[in-house]
Copies of this chain bind each other. A is one copy, B any other.
Amino acid sequence: MTEPAHAHSFQTTCSACALAGVCLPIAVSGDELELLDQIIQRKRPIPRNEHVYRANETFTSLYAVRSGAVKSYRLTPDGEEQIVGFHLPGEIFGLDGLGQARHGSAAVALESAAVCEIPFARVSELAGQLPGVQSHLLQLMSREISDDQHLLILLSKRTAEERIASFLVGLSSRFRRRRLSATRFRLPMSRADIGNYLGLVIETVSRVLTRLQRQGVLRLDQREVEIIDLPRLHEVAGVAMPTDDPCN
Protein backbone atom coordinates (compact mmCIF):
# COMPACT_ATOMS: atom_id res chain seq x y z
CA MET A 1 0.00 0.00 0.00
CA THR A 2 2.41 2.60 1.22
CA GLU A 3 5.12 0.81 -0.69
CA PRO A 4 7.14 3.03 -3.03
CA ALA A 5 7.39 2.28 -6.72
CA HIS A 6 10.55 0.36 -6.21
CA ALA A 7 8.98 -2.54 -4.42
CA HIS A 8 12.08 -4.42 -3.37
CA SER A 9 12.62 -2.37 -0.31
CA PHE A 10 13.10 -4.79 2.54
CA GLN A 11 15.73 -7.37 1.93
CA THR A 12 16.49 -10.03 -0.54
CA THR A 13 14.88 -11.54 -3.56
CA CYS A 14 13.03 -14.83 -3.28
CA SER A 15 16.00 -16.75 -4.62
CA ALA A 16 18.23 -15.31 -1.95
CA CYS A 17 15.66 -15.69 0.82
CA ALA A 18 16.58 -18.06 3.58
CA LEU A 19 13.12 -19.50 3.36
CA ALA A 20 13.28 -20.50 -0.27
CA GLY A 21 12.22 -24.12 -0.41
CA VAL A 22 9.73 -23.68 2.39
CA CYS A 23 7.78 -20.83 0.90
CA LEU A 24 5.73 -20.38 -2.26
CA PRO A 25 8.43 -20.71 -4.89
CA ILE A 26 9.07 -24.29 -3.94
CA ALA A 27 7.39 -25.56 -7.07
CA VAL A 28 8.63 -22.74 -9.21
CA SER A 29 11.88 -22.76 -11.09
CA GLY A 30 14.32 -20.49 -12.89
CA ASP A 31 12.76 -17.62 -14.77
CA GLU A 32 9.36 -18.34 -13.27
CA LEU A 33 10.89 -17.47 -9.95
CA GLU A 34 12.28 -14.30 -11.35
CA LEU A 35 8.86 -13.22 -12.59
CA LEU A 36 7.34 -14.00 -9.24
CA ASP A 37 10.09 -12.13 -7.56
CA GLN A 38 9.11 -8.99 -9.36
CA ILE A 39 5.58 -8.96 -8.12
CA ILE A 40 6.25 -9.78 -4.51
CA GLN A 41 6.42 -6.81 -2.22
CA ARG A 42 8.39 -6.84 0.96
CA LYS A 43 6.61 -4.81 3.57
CA ARG A 44 8.24 -3.09 6.48
CA PRO A 45 7.96 -5.00 9.76
CA ILE A 46 4.55 -5.23 11.33
CA PRO A 47 4.53 -4.60 15.07
CA ARG A 48 2.98 -7.00 17.54
CA ASN A 49 -0.82 -6.92 17.58
CA GLU A 50 -1.08 -5.02 14.35
CA HIS A 51 -3.33 -6.41 11.64
CA VAL A 52 -2.12 -7.53 8.26
CA TYR A 53 -5.72 -7.51 7.10
CA ARG A 54 -9.07 -7.50 8.79
CA ALA A 55 -12.19 -9.54 8.27
CA ASN A 56 -14.32 -8.16 5.49
CA GLU A 57 -11.56 -6.13 3.90
CA THR A 58 -11.34 -6.56 0.16
CA PHE A 59 -9.08 -9.37 -0.78
CA THR A 60 -6.10 -8.23 -2.82
CA SER A 61 -3.10 -10.25 -1.81
CA LEU A 62 -1.67 -13.38 -0.37
CA TYR A 63 1.00 -13.06 2.27
CA ALA A 64 4.08 -14.99 3.27
CA VAL A 65 5.66 -14.78 6.68
CA ARG A 66 9.32 -13.86 6.52
CA SER A 67 9.98 -13.57 10.23
CA GLY A 68 7.93 -13.49 13.39
CA ALA A 69 4.53 -15.11 13.59
CA VAL A 70 0.97 -14.35 12.60
CA LYS A 71 -2.38 -15.74 13.66
CA SER A 72 -5.54 -15.69 11.63
CA TYR A 73 -8.94 -15.72 13.21
CA ARG A 74 -12.61 -15.35 12.50
CA LEU A 75 -15.16 -13.48 14.49
CA THR A 76 -17.97 -15.60 15.83
CA PRO A 77 -21.45 -14.11 15.58
CA ASP A 78 -21.22 -13.06 19.20
CA GLY A 79 -18.04 -11.14 18.54
CA GLU A 80 -15.53 -13.53 20.03
CA GLU A 81 -12.51 -14.52 18.04
CA GLN A 82 -11.82 -18.04 16.90
CA ILE A 83 -8.26 -18.60 15.83
CA VAL A 84 -8.10 -20.78 12.74
CA GLY A 85 -4.37 -20.89 12.17
CA PHE A 86 -0.90 -19.81 13.19
CA HIS A 87 1.60 -18.87 10.52
CA LEU A 88 5.33 -19.23 10.92
CA PRO A 89 8.15 -18.05 8.68
CA GLY A 90 7.96 -19.54 5.21
CA GLU A 91 4.23 -20.12 5.41
CA ILE A 92 1.59 -18.52 3.23
CA PHE A 93 -1.59 -17.07 4.65
CA GLY A 94 -4.59 -15.10 3.52
CA LEU A 95 -5.83 -17.78 1.16
CA ASP A 96 -9.23 -17.86 2.74
CA GLY A 97 -10.89 -14.96 0.96
CA LEU A 98 -9.49 -16.07 -2.34
CA GLY A 99 -12.59 -16.90 -4.30
CA GLN A 100 -14.61 -14.29 -2.47
CA ALA A 101 -13.96 -10.64 -2.93
CA ARG A 102 -13.36 -10.17 0.78
CA HIS A 103 -11.40 -11.78 3.51
CA GLY A 104 -13.43 -14.03 5.75
CA SER A 105 -10.81 -13.94 8.43
CA ALA A 106 -8.41 -11.43 9.92
CA ALA A 107 -4.67 -11.77 10.42
CA VAL A 108 -2.66 -10.18 13.16
CA ALA A 109 1.01 -10.30 14.13
CA LEU A 110 1.70 -12.29 17.29
CA GLU A 111 5.08 -10.68 17.58
CA SER A 112 6.86 -8.18 15.44
CA ALA A 113 6.76 -9.78 12.01
CA ALA A 114 7.94 -9.26 8.47
CA VAL A 115 5.69 -10.42 5.66
CA CYS A 116 5.85 -10.48 1.90
CA GLU A 117 2.77 -9.30 0.10
CA ILE A 118 1.83 -11.08 -3.08
CA PRO A 119 -0.75 -9.14 -5.10
CA PHE A 120 -3.20 -11.76 -6.21
CA ALA A 121 -4.16 -10.22 -9.51
CA ARG A 122 -0.59 -10.66 -10.67
CA VAL A 123 -0.30 -14.20 -9.40
CA SER A 124 -3.53 -15.01 -11.11
CA GLU A 125 -2.16 -13.75 -14.40
CA LEU A 126 1.00 -15.73 -13.92
CA ALA A 127 -1.04 -18.80 -13.09
CA GLY A 128 -2.72 -18.57 -16.45
CA GLN A 129 0.64 -18.82 -18.17
CA LEU A 130 2.70 -20.98 -15.89
CA PRO A 131 1.01 -24.21 -14.95
CA GLY A 132 3.54 -24.58 -12.15
CA VAL A 133 2.18 -21.55 -10.38
CA GLN A 134 -1.41 -22.55 -11.04
CA SER A 135 -0.97 -25.95 -9.54
CA HIS A 136 1.03 -24.65 -6.63
CA LEU A 137 -1.80 -22.30 -5.83
CA LEU A 138 -4.28 -25.12 -5.80
CA GLN A 139 -1.91 -27.12 -3.66
CA LEU A 140 -1.74 -24.36 -1.12
CA MET A 141 -5.49 -24.15 -0.94
CA SER A 142 -5.99 -27.84 -0.60
CA ARG A 143 -3.40 -27.94 2.12
CA GLU A 144 -5.40 -25.31 3.90
CA ILE A 145 -8.49 -27.45 3.59
CA SER A 146 -6.57 -30.43 4.86
CA ASP A 147 -5.24 -28.50 7.81
CA ASP A 148 -8.66 -27.27 8.77
CA GLN A 149 -10.02 -30.77 8.56
CA HIS A 150 -7.27 -32.11 10.78
CA LEU A 151 -8.13 -29.46 13.28
CA LEU A 152 -11.78 -30.46 12.97
CA ILE A 153 -10.91 -33.98 13.96
CA LEU A 154 -8.88 -32.71 16.86
CA LEU A 155 -11.72 -30.56 18.11
CA SER A 156 -14.49 -33.03 17.67
CA LYS A 157 -12.94 -36.19 19.00
CA ARG A 158 -9.89 -35.50 21.11
CA THR A 159 -9.25 -34.84 24.79
CA ALA A 160 -7.51 -31.74 26.04
CA GLU A 161 -4.28 -33.68 26.47
CA GLU A 162 -4.37 -35.06 22.95
CA ARG A 163 -5.09 -31.66 21.49
CA ILE A 164 -2.20 -30.00 23.20
CA ALA A 165 0.20 -32.82 22.47
CA SER A 166 -0.82 -32.72 18.80
CA PHE A 167 -0.40 -29.01 18.75
CA LEU A 168 3.13 -29.23 20.10
CA VAL A 169 4.05 -32.07 17.78
CA GLY A 170 2.77 -30.00 14.89
CA LEU A 171 4.80 -26.98 15.91
CA SER A 172 7.81 -29.17 16.38
CA SER A 173 7.72 -30.45 12.83
CA ARG A 174 7.19 -27.01 11.45
CA PHE A 175 10.33 -25.86 13.23
CA ARG A 176 12.17 -28.88 11.93
CA ARG A 177 11.13 -28.10 8.40
CA ARG A 178 12.86 -24.79 8.79
CA ARG A 179 15.94 -26.66 9.99
CA LEU A 180 15.55 -25.31 13.45
CA SER A 181 15.52 -27.45 16.52
CA ALA A 182 12.43 -29.63 16.68
CA THR A 183 12.78 -30.02 20.42
CA ARG A 184 13.61 -26.58 21.66
CA PHE A 185 11.72 -23.53 20.54
CA ARG A 186 9.81 -20.54 21.69
CA LEU A 187 6.03 -20.49 21.48
CA PRO A 188 5.06 -17.40 19.56
CA MET A 189 1.55 -17.38 21.04
CA SER A 190 0.06 -16.99 24.48
CA ARG A 191 -1.69 -19.73 26.43
CA ALA A 192 -4.91 -17.92 25.68
CA ASP A 193 -4.27 -18.20 21.96
CA ILE A 194 -3.44 -21.88 22.26
CA GLY A 195 -6.63 -22.45 24.18
CA ASN A 196 -8.70 -20.48 21.75
CA TYR A 197 -7.26 -22.39 18.83
CA LEU A 198 -7.78 -25.77 20.44
CA GLY A 199 -11.20 -25.12 21.91
CA LEU A 200 -9.98 -25.14 25.52
CA VAL A 201 -9.99 -22.56 28.28
CA ILE A 202 -6.70 -21.14 29.36
CA GLU A 203 -6.75 -22.92 32.70
CA THR A 204 -7.02 -26.26 30.99
CA VAL A 205 -4.09 -25.45 28.74
CA SER A 206 -2.05 -24.52 31.74
CA ARG A 207 -2.99 -27.63 33.68
CA VAL A 208 -2.26 -29.99 30.81
CA LEU A 209 1.09 -28.33 30.21
CA THR A 210 2.11 -28.72 33.83
CA ARG A 211 0.95 -32.32 33.79
CA LEU A 212 3.07 -33.08 30.73
CA GLN A 213 5.92 -31.39 32.48
CA ARG A 214 5.51 -33.46 35.64
CA GLN A 215 5.47 -36.59 33.48
CA GLY A 216 8.84 -35.59 32.09
CA VAL A 217 7.60 -35.27 28.54
CA LEU A 218 8.67 -31.68 28.23
CA ARG A 219 10.07 -28.73 30.08
CA LEU A 220 8.64 -25.25 30.03
CA ASP A 221 9.99 -21.91 30.97
CA GLN A 222 7.56 -19.24 30.06
CA ARG A 223 7.17 -19.60 26.34
CA GLU A 224 10.34 -21.59 25.89
CA VAL A 225 9.59 -25.24 25.27
CA GLU A 226 11.94 -28.14 25.43
CA ILE A 227 10.47 -31.40 24.30
CA ILE A 228 12.30 -34.06 26.27
CA ASP A 229 10.49 -37.12 25.02
CA LEU A 230 9.18 -36.50 21.53
CA PRO A 231 8.13 -40.11 20.85
CA ARG A 232 6.11 -40.03 24.04
CA LEU A 233 4.52 -36.76 22.96
CA HIS A 234 3.56 -38.38 19.67
CA GLU A 235 1.92 -41.17 21.57
CA VAL A 236 -0.04 -38.82 23.74
CA ALA A 237 -1.09 -36.93 20.63
CA GLY A 238 -2.42 -40.03 18.97
CA VAL A 239 -3.26 -37.92 15.96
CA ALA A 240 -1.20 -35.82 13.62
CA MET A 241 -1.52 -32.06 13.56
CA PRO A 242 -2.15 -29.73 10.65
CA THR A 243 0.76 -28.97 8.37
CA ASP A 244 3.04 -31.70 9.51
CA ASP A 245 1.49 -34.71 7.95
CA PRO A 246 2.95 -35.48 4.57
CA CYS A 247 0.16 -37.92 3.71
CA ASN A 248 -2.09 -34.93 3.37
Chain A interface residues toward B at CB < 8 A: 56, 74, 76-78, 80, 82, 84, 95-100, 102, 104-105, 124, 127-128, 131, 134-146, 148-149, 151-153, 155-157, 198-199, 238-240, 247-248
Contact = CB atoms under 8 A, between A and B. Distances in A.
Nearest to A99: B139
7 contacts: A97-B142, A99-B138, A99-B140, A102-B248, A104-B146, A127-B134, A141-B145
A77 B240 contact: yes
Given A138-B98, A142-B95, A156 B82 contact: yes
Nearest to A105: B149
Contact of A98 (B76, B77, B104, B141): B141
Contacts of A144: 145
Given A138-B141, A149-B148, A199 B97 contact: no
A98 B139 CA distance: 7
Q: How many copies does the complex hold?
A: 2
Contacts of A80: 157
A85 B36 CA distance: 35
Contact of A155 (B127, B145, B155): B155
Contacts of A100: 139, 142-143, 146, 248
Contacts of A151: 152
A143 B144 CA distance: 12
Nearest to A135: B99
A98 B78 CA distance: 34
A236 to B, nearest CB: 12
A74 B240 CA distance: 13
Shortest 7 CB-CB contacts between residues of A and residues of B: A99-B139, A156-B199, A99-B142, A148-B148, A155-B155, A104-B248, A98-B142
